[in-house]
Structure 1
Amino acid sequence: MKKIGLLIIGAMAVLACSKENSNTMYVKASVKGLKKGTFYLQKQVDSMVVSVDSIQVDGTENFMLTDEVLSPEMYYLTLGNSSKRISFFGEKDTVTIQSQLDLFAVKAKIKGSTNQELLTDFEDMQQNFNNEKLDLMKEEFEARKIGSQDSIDQVAVKLKRWQRKRYLYMTNFAVKNGEYEVSPYIALTELVNANIKLLDTVNNSMSPKVRESKYGQQLVEFIDDIKKNESK
């Protein structure tokens, strides 16, 4: 009996340890207006988006999907075969997503990850930049409409300033948050056409942990490839 008791205690200790070290991400979602459908949890592997979990929902607005996350990265919650998709930064532990069926991505509220919170802040500022660009495009359209070359040239100068300001903002944001995986992700998605010096600045700001992450390693490889091509 003593041996059996020891075996049970040992098994419980192993289970507790494995649970503590688990890399499982639990995506708890709630979609208002949902009655029936299939949801897929997806992520990008190489150049393809693949499904890592799925669930058929019938008669409930709440459901959960899971995946093992070795390194924080972007995931997608996709409704069936439609274009309705919510993107979010996934990492171990729990991520909660609340939305509604008719405005699936627009109304999405995502919690559970510092990377996601930073990405949301970044995207809010990006929207401001996008609005500024729309204003400049409208200004250019009006200039072309009346055939004013001087006005067209002025808009071109403004667009260059806008792009420089945008690149600098993105670089500063990535540098400021070099302890999080969102930093190299922003560099890889938004700064690929920027000056190599800006990419190097982000690269040098990454913490050792982030440098070893999926996006950290990809950024290092991307910069190395650029430098190799420049030296040819």
Structure 2
Amino acid sequence: MKKLFAICLLFLIFACSKEKKQGNMIVQGQIKGLKKGTLYLQKLKDTLVVSVDSISLLGKDEFLLSDNVDSPEMYYLTFDGNTSEKRIIFFGEQGTITINDDVKRFGLNTKIEGSKNQKVYEDYQKMTSKFQGKQLDLFEANFLAQKEKDVKKSDSLRKLSEDYLKRRYLYSINFALNHPDDEASAYIALTDLADANVKYLDTINKSLSERVKASLYGKKLAKFIDKIKNQEDQP
């Protein structure tokens, strides 16, 4: 009996000491200043954000996390509180992705390397952020015009804001059409163009490569388009 217990104990120690198997995506890097806490690698599953890996940092701010990725998709990097207020959002895909940041400005000045779709999405965001900034300026100006009861100026600013919104939609559509081999295009269509005319979504979908169509977001886009068309066909 004692011998059996000793064997079981050795087996348990071996199992606990054995390194966990890494997935086909490695997420590594450094969060400067994060000397103590738990870092979580998360993604959206159905409608819930779930943790797929985590690491406790004790005295060091470097980390290594992993997951198995079938096709590129959005991941989140959070720590401790596990809230949406402080998180790094990035495109995860097979291979090694390096993320460097600072705990004091976590998620605000992140440097991400090793993900092709992340680079494509960052290029897209650089331009759309300019549209968003301009629309905010116009919104504030319109608010002041309304406060001053300047109807003519308010109408002019409203029309200008609508024009910028249209230009942003056109930019998003053209960007997706010009990147048919990147899963980021399907993601952009699903998120930033979800309320666009279905004919534009259909055009984007048809332009995607077969590989992207077979990806997570490619399948979701096709399903989303079919849902809209079915709703439009109903009396």
Report the TM-score, using the length of structure 2 for normalisation.
0.87
Counterpart of 1:116 in structure 2: which amino acid?
Answer: Q
- Residue 183 (structure 1) shift: 0.5
Structure 1 counterpart of 2:179, from 174, 177, 180: 177
Task: Decide whether the 8 Å contact of 1:23 with 1:93 is kept in 2.
Answer: no
Task: Decide whether the 8 Å contact of 1:72 with 1:91 is kept in 2.
Answer: yes
- SS of the residue aligned with 1:53? strand
Partner of 1:19: none
Between the aligned partners of 1:46 and 1:135, the Cα distance in structure 2 is 36
Partner of 1:13: none
Partner of 2:61: 61
Partner of 1:4: none
- The 4+ residue runs of structure 1 with deviation greater than 2 A are none
Partner of 2:101: 99
- SS of the residue aligned with 2:172? helix
- Residue 153 (structure 1) shift: 1.2
- SS of the residue aligned with 1:42? strand
- Residue 23 (structure 1) shift: 6.2
- SS of the residue aligned with 2:131? helix
Between the aligned partners of 1:176 and 1:225, the Cα distance in structure 2 is 25
Query: For each residue in 1:142-199, what CA deviation from the matched residue of structure 2 results, as whole angstroms up to 9, or x when unmatched?
Result: 2112101111111221121111101000011111111010010000010011111211
Alignment partner of 1:230 is 2:232:
yes
Partner of 2:17: none
Counterpart of 1:214 in structure 2: which amino acid?
Answer: L
Partner of 1:207: 209
- Residue 131 (structure 1) shift: 1.0
Structure 1 counterpart of 2:156, from 154, 157, 179: 154
- Residue 134 (structure 1) shift: 1.3
Partner of 1:40: 40
Counterpart of 2:157 in structure 1: which amino acid?
Answer: V
- Residue 27 (structure 1) shift: 0.2
Once the two structures are superposed, the pairs formed by residues 77-226 of structure 1 within 5 Å of their partners are 77-83=77-83, 84-226=86-228
Between the aligned partners of 1:113 and 1:175, the Cα distance in structure 2 is 20
- Residue 200 (structure 1) shift: 1.3
- Residue 130 (structure 1) shift: 1.1
Partner of 1:8: none
Report the TM-score, using the length of structure 1 for normalisation.
0.88
Partner of 2:11: none
Between the aligned partners of 2:212 and 2:71, the Cα distance in structure 1 is 9
- Residue 82 (structure 1) shift: 4.2
Task: Pick which of 165-174 and 139-148 moved more.
Answer: 139-148
Partner of 1:71: 71
Between the aligned partners of 1:23 and 1:100, the Cα distance in structure 2 is 26
The Cα RMSD (Å) is 1.2
Task: Decide whether the 8 Å contact of 1:171 with 1:201 is kept in 2.
Answer: no
Structure 1 unaligned regions, length at least 5: 1-21
Structure 2 unaligned regions, length at least 5: 1-21
Between the aligned partners of 1:194 and 1:163, the Cα distance in structure 2 is 11
- SS of the residue aligned with 1:52? strand
